[in-house]
Amino acid sequence: MSSAPTNAGPRDSVRLEGKTRFDRGLFILDVRHMPDGCGVWPAFWMTDEAAWPRNGEVDILEGVNGQTVSKTALHTSDQCDMYAHVPPWTNTGEWEWITGIPKTYTGEPDFHTSKAADNCWVMAQHQWANEGCTAVHDRNDTLGAPVNENGGGIYALEWDPENR
């Protein structure tokens, strides 16, 4: 199957799954056209579904609907966070800021509290369920329509557990 559009228009949604397990590597997504619009969820991620979230999940690229800013997230088991572990000079964006999380005892949305999504645990307090630690790109053209207008894009993740 090629990545060329069909006679009826752009390709329908696809999910590609590999059969090989990796524990390191350079993973590259080179797209010419990215899904865009209401009801689409473009994503490029790696996980071990059989042992999720214990073995984690890396969302290299993810967005929803007509978003134009890509997000990268780690979803893990307990006791994995990025708070004060990532030097600001290494960032190409910032942590996603969370607000409106339901209060623990009343369930009412709390719009007065805001916090960075820097805890990777899928059930971290004061974050949306399965939020993980989510980084948001600092440019507004890294997902969806702007990527298509620029002729595509390249996304990469280097997983090198020996050189943290």
Q: Are residues 156 and 27 in contact, defined by beta-carbon separation less than 8 angstroms?
A: yes
Amino acid at 113: T
- The residue type found at 81 is D
The catalytic position among 17, 62, 149, 162 is 62
HSE-CB at 16 with a 13 A cutoff on CA atoms is 10
Is 131 among the residues known to form the active site?
no
CA dist., res. 57 & res. 93, Å (int): 20
Q: For residues 12 and 10, what is the distance between their CA atoms, to the nearest angstrom?
A: 7
HSE-up (13 A, CA, CB side) for residue 157: 19
Give strand pairing partners of 30.
Answer: 154
108 is catalytic: no
With vertex at residue 127, the alpha carbon angle to CA 125 and CA 129, rounded to the nearest 5 degrees, is 90
> Catalytic pick from 57, 94, 96, 108?
57
Catalytic (active-site) positions: 57, 62
